[in-house]
Structure 1
Amino acid sequence: MLTEERHQLIRDQLAADGKVLAGELASRFGVSEDTVRRDLRELAKAGQLRRVYGGAIASAPFAAASVGQRSGHAVEEKARLARAAVGLLVAGDFLFI
């Protein structure tokens, strides 16, 4: 399997699960854990994940998304939060949810 193929599969699993484990990836890809650790280092250097002991976690899922893209996320939860917060606001206050 090519490096870029592994990188894409790692990104896909991070998007789905939020984390990856080096040992599981090595078994899945049929490569050594050293190879997986190298892949994770490269992806971390590119800002695509954050290394943790034994694997990696997704880096800030919404960091690259624009405000317009994020505005449609968790709409009902944001509406509930806004209804709860409205009583705490005074004239001139601004609340960004």
Structure 2
Amino acid sequence: MDLVAPGVVSIMPEATLNAAAEHASGRQYPRYLWRSAQKLEELAAFGVDYADVVQVLEDEGVDKFDAGWHESVEKLAVSPHESDSGRPHGTDRSREKV
């Protein structure tokens, strides 16, 4: 069985690949797929380091996920008997009309 595209390594189980091949429409990736490698080379000529871009995106994504995770954990750590204000539930009078 050929790979899906040149230079692509698939970690899909063989049984899944075979099942997909049985139901495939015969359509392959477009012939212009090779252009993506050409575009990456063009970006490199302008000084864009693809590996650096990927690393920055990954680092920023992990940082944002981590921040959101810690915020969620902190909110969940609030006692079920108190609100975010630290007052017991039902005693928050900030929405009452004076």
Q: Which interval holds the TM-score relative to the shorter structure? A: under 0.3
What TM-score, normalized by structure 1, do the two folds share? 0.24
- The structure with the greater share of residues assigned to strand is 1
What TM-score, normalized by structure 2, do the two folds share? 0.24
Q: Which has the higher contact order (CA 8 A, sep 6+)?
A: 1
Query: Greater Rg, structure 1 or structure 2?
Result: 2
